[in-house]
């Protein structure tokens, strides 16, 4: 951005940008610095509202065997999860949806699609999926994403308002998308992988399951876009990163088993 353009940005716009830059500083569970604008209570409320809407719109799986299996894994992971986002109890729901997916929202909400079950072929592999999703929540990735988008919109809006030129604002938006948003999202995914593998190991699930899960996912996704054009790391990158963490997480797994953590979750 040219200096002359900066001089022409209105004072209120500069204050809005500064509010983003000077937002609450926080540290993720892996030690990464974060800037957060919203409070945990606001994020938890938004997550609860969104989850309630999803439950209205998506069929819920009622099979007691499937629900017992998924909840068994969730309870084991949550028993070793350190969560300081203000959640007092978590809710896990299995949705009848053929997509190989799962998610977690602020406010302690976990959703698992039935379509992930054929891909996550055992409890260890499904634990890696659910640990990953819980990792997103306890690392406040949703808050960070909202805060990041708010800051980018502040800059784009300020420049667009000053120049009156939609092309300039659009160019900055495109630059933000490929220069900030996508790498940042990959950072979230990679961090959630790390946290999830730790959680599953501490809960008594074999951390090798995370590697096996992503090998299964890779086999299903031939023709995926190149990593630099994707919001997620490539499967090969994820597998390599998880393999690098395997020795230390195997130690956590062995300690968990020795302490009596032996979740017997079966479908």
Q: What pTM, to 2 d.p., does this model score?
A: 0.77
Residue 1, CB half-sphere, CA atoms under 13 Å: how many?
Answer: 19
d(CA 86, CA 262): 28
Beta bridge partners of 36: 24
- Give the pLDDT score at 28: 66
- Give the pLDDT score at 25: 60
- Give the pLDDT score at 39: 82
d(CA 64, CA 87): 26
Active site residues: 133
- Give the pLDDT score at 24: 60
d(CA 205, CA 216): 18
Q: Tell me the DSSP string of 102-117.
A: EEEETTTEEEEEGGGT
- Give the pLDDT score at 146: 76
Give 10-residue mean pLDDT values along the chain (267 residues). 38 42 59 70 89 94 98 98 92 96 92 96 97 92 75 46 40 38 63 95 98 91 54 79 96 98 96
d(CA 259, CA 267): 25
- Give the pLDDT score at 187: 78
- Give the pLDDT score at 262: 95
In three-state form (DSSP H/G/I as H, E/B as E, the rest C), the secondary structure along 194-206 is HHHHHHHHHCCCC
């Amino acid at each position: 951005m040219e200096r002359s353009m900066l001089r022409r940005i209105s004072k209120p716009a500069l204050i809005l940008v500064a509010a983003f830059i000077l937002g609450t500083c926080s540290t993720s569970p892996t030690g990464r610095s974060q800037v957060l604008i919203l409070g945990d209570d606001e994020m938890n409320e938004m997550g609860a509202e969104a989850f309630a809407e999803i439950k209205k719109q998506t069929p819920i799986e009622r099979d007691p065997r499937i629900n017992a299996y998924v909840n068994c894994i969730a309870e084991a992971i949550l028993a070793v999860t350190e969560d300081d986002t203000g959640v007092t109890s978590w809710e896990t729901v299995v949705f009848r949806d053929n997509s190989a997916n799962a998610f977690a929202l602020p406010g302690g909400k976990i959703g698992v699609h039935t379509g992930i079950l054929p891909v996550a072929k055992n409890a260890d592999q499904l634990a890696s999926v659910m640990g990953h999703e819980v990792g997103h929540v306890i690392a406040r990735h949703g808050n960070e994403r909202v805060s990041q988008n708010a800051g980018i919109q502040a800059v784009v809006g300020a420049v667009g308002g000053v120049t009156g030129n939609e092309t300039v604002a659009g160019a900055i938006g495109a630059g933000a998308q490929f220069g900030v948003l996508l790498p940042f999202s990959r950072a979230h995914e990679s961090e959630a992988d790390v946290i999830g593998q730790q959680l599953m190991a501490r809960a008594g699930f074999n951390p090798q399951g995370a590697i096996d899960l992503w090998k299964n996912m890779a086999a299903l996704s031939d023709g995926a876009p190149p990593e630099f054009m994707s919001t997620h790391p490539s499967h090969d990158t994820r597998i390599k990163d998880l393999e690098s963490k395997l020795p230390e997480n195997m130690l956590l797994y062995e300690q968990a088993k020795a302490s009596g953590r032996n979740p017997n979750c079966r479908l």
